[in-house]
């Protein structure tokens, strides 16, 4: 679907609470806009769900409505428990998904 | 003569800026549906539905928003809810509402004890000057609410 970028610290200490930043490219069409030529409303097409799994468990998720800005950016926190993959998944109205994985290393 | 006196302290730059703002406003007024149908009561109803009519307490939520957003298309919003984020005491979710947007619901964030901190930054659209409301549901069932006004120069829900 779209390009995504995630930023996770290069290494963290066990128990440390660290910030993750994630950005995905998506126009987030609100469904409010009209096509200037036809006068028809442009159908809504937004990313409505963002999910994060860490150590195989869902640890954070978010539901989005049209008021979330285009190319949605989100920053949130996780507590470092073990080295492993942090997986990100965005799902849009058409059911298309974008996935991204970041490796977390505990020093 | 009066015009002359008023104009004197204004520099050419000020005048140009004023003219520019007017032109921009006129341009956007034509293509933006504005915030028609926006209703603070809809936001209140959405919040009541979420909390099951439970009274929300004040405090615990710290919101960081700009006082004035020049462009309603992308307004940075951050919040943090005070919580130890342990297995027994954590923030379950935070819901964001904008009381004068065409759809008052903005987004919901679901936390777990693995988050360590119930804080999020994101960017939202604002159709006009209004309040952004955060409602936090805690693991013990209590509800907290915070409100932050944002003044918007150019709306961001259409065009």
pLDDT digits (tens, 9 = 90+) for B137-152: 999 999 999 999 999 9
B157 and A30 within 8 Å at the Cβ level: the answer is yes
pLDDT digits (tens, 9 = 90+) for A29-72: 999 899 889 989 999 999 999 999 999 999 999 999 999 999 99
Closest-CA residue of chain B to A15: B116
A69 and B158 within 8 Å at the Cβ level: the answer is no
| b/e per residue A73-85 (b: at least 16 CB within 10 A) | bbebbbbbbeeee
Specify the pLDDT at position B37. Answer: 53
- Pick B107's closest partner by Cβ from A32, A64, A79: A64
pLDDT over 70 (residue B27): no
Does the interface predicted TM-score (ipTM) exceed 0.85?
Answer: yes
- Pick A77's closest partner by Cβ from B33, B117, B158: B117
pLDDT over 90 (residue B53): no
Closest-CA residue of chain B to A81: B114
pLDDT over 50 (residue B5): no
pLDDT digits (tens, 9 = 90+) for B31-52: 344 444 567 888 888 899 888 8
Contacts of B104 (CB under 8 A, 6+ apart): B39, B42, B43, B46, B97, B98
A73 and B116 within 8 Å at the Cβ level: the answer is no
Per CB-CB distance under 8 Å, the chain A contacts of B102 are 32, 66
pLDDT digits (tens, 9 = 90+) for B7-18: 444 555 554 555
């Amino acid at each position: 679907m779209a390009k995504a970028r995630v930023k996770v610290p290069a290494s963290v200490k066990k128990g440390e609470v660290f910030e993750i930043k994630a950005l995905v490219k998506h126009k987030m069409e609100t469904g409010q806009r009209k096509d200037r030529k036809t006068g028809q409303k442009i159908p809504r097409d937004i990313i409505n769900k963002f999910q994060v799994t860490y150590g195989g468990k869902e640890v954070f998720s978010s539901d989005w409505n049209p008021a979330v800005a285009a190319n949605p950016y989100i920053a949130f926190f996780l507590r470092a428990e073990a080295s492993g993959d942090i997986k990100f998944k965005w799902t849009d109205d058409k059911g298309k998904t974008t996935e991204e994985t970041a490796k977390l290393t505990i020093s | 003569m009066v015009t002359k006196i008023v104009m004197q302290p204004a520099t050419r730059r000020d005048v140009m800026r004023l003219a520019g703002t007017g032109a921009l406003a006129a341009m956007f007024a034509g293509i933006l549906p504005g915030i028609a149908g926006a209703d603070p009561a809809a936001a209140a109803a959405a919040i009541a539905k979420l909390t099951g009519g439970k009274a929300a307490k004040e405090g615990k939520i710290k919101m960081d928003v700009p006082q004035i957003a020049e462009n309603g298309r992308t307004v940075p919003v951050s919040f943090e809810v005070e919580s130890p984020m342990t297995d027994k005491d954590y923030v379950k979710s935070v819901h964001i509402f904008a009381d004068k947007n065409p759809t008052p619901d903005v987004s919901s964030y679901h936390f777990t004890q693995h988050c360590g901190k119930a804080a999020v930054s994101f960017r939202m659209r604002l159709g006009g000057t209004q309040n952004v409301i955060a409602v936090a549901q805690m693991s013990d069932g209590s509800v907290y609410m915070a409100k932050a006004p944002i003044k918007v120069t150019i709306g961001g829900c259409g065009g």
